[in-house]
Amino acid sequence: MSREIRINYEEVYAKTAELRQRLTAELREMDMEYRQIQSDLRRLDGRTNAEFIEAMKMNQQKAQMTVETLTKLLTFIESSAREIERDEAMTSRIFSRSRIVPARRR
């Protein structure tokens, strides 16, 4: 079993970008649905409806915060991958210039 870890950085970047786009699309769709429901409820009377609308607004804000957090995590993953990729490239250049071949562990 190999102890080597291989990372396909382009795949990491493509997947994080795809997931960010999907989160944005889901948030946009959710916001439209929330607005529609809130609009429908505003046409009705009563204290219960007002409380329900307020609870929905709070849930909507929580969902938006969740999407923001997930987006930040995806950005962190992508940034970390870029940093590791740069470090690997620099290490590779150092070894290729010095013509030193790192010893393999068994």
Kindly report, residue by residue over 13-69, the tens digit of the pLDDT. 999 999 999 999 999 999 899 888 888 877 777 887 888 888 888 998 999 999 999
Indicate whether 3 belongs to any domain: no
Give SS3 for 40: helix
pTM above 0.85, yes or no: no
- CA 4 – CA 6 distance, rounded (Å): 6
* Residue numbers of the domain that contains 27: 9-98
Residue 15 lies in a domain: yes
Q: What is the DSSP letter of 8?
A: -
In a domain, 49, yes or no: yes
The better pLDDT of the pair 97, 103 is held by: 97
Report the distance separating Cα 65 and Cα 42, nearest Å: 25
pLDDT for residue 99:
64
Closest CA to 28 of 75, 67, 74: 67
User: Looking at the domain assignment, is residue 105 inside a domain?
Assistant: no
Say if 75 falls within a structural domain: yes
Q: Is residue 4 situated within a structural domain? A: no
pLDDT of res. 41 = 78
- The alpha-helical segments, DSSP class H, found in the chain are 9-42, 47-98
In a domain, 28, yes or no: yes
Q: Above 60 in pLDDT, residue 1?
A: no
Q: How far is CA 82 from CA 5, 8, 10, in A?
A: 15, 11, 10
- Predicted pLDDT at 96: 81
Q: Which pLDDT value is given to residue 105?
A: 55
Q: Is residue 103 part of a domain?
A: no
Give the chain's domain count.
1
